[in-house]
Structure 1
């Protein structure tokens, strides 16, 4: 757990308040970091798409702010991040299918529309990817709920508000 914690803090350059809050529980931070650092079939950009869509859907300003910065560190522009938060990614057809799948999954509590699921698979995703997408949705939902309940200070630059309420 200690190695994962140090690596995570090195990425952002400080100990995020989310991690400090998890540390109030004897095992939560280690469990959370193990989940975040598990081996996955998804690329970093794909995980950021999931993190942004889920955080927008759940209204978690902490995670939106953190993942806006992490998304930029992984090559997304501000405009792309704002679009991804609406459940679309017109700049990349595969990420677009992923964003739509994630939004449909969270909106419908795991019952994504058949059309969106088909687009997900046509885009090149597999059942192994589907499982990993759901695990990342769960991971991000945990953090969203923790922040929304605890409402600790956001220690990242605040994410821009969406101009239209798409989600």
Structure 2
């Protein structure tokens, strides 16, 4: 049972309707989580702005962004977000199902992606307390300071969506992937 009301696209007006139109144009649908965010148009607008900025002006490629999202959703036990990002990772970002499964565990065959996931796991598990040695390891793997900042941003953005999806008990509108699988 949903804990929070969802705003239906057909009933949306003003800024919310425009945000739904943009979401639909990008994804081909308005996901249930966006419908929950629309209870506060400021939240939906901020979320879409952050996602758009990181995906169009950030330097981390889609496969890395989706790998971070899978790791965070797995760690937080968010089946909604795990389902979303398993779909995006394998259908849009080019990860194989095996690579997506590894990302959920914080692992990757690519050295650079593995370093990103190691950093993301530390940021998530230690709530941002990254040691000098961990930063040095990320830099040795080729991450710039800007990319480190983007990793932290992706972790934070995904924690937000994981928590909101869980708090709202959002109905999963993607092929189901459970964190217990």
Secondary structure of 1:88's aligned partner: coil
Displacement of 1:51: 1.0
Whether 1:79 aligns to 2:98 is yes
1:150 aligned residue = 168
Alignment of 1:19-38 (within 5 A): 19-38=34-53
C-alpha RMSD of the superposition: 2.0
Secondary structure of 1:37's aligned partner: helix
- Aligned length in residues: 162
Whether 1:95 aligns to 2:113 is yes
TM-score normalized by the length of structure 2: 0.81
Distance in 2 between the 1:161 and 1:50 partners? Answer: 15
Displacement of 1:80: 0.7
**CA distances 1:64-119 after superposition (whole Å, capped 9, x unpaired):** 00000100121101111011010111x21110111111111111111235444332
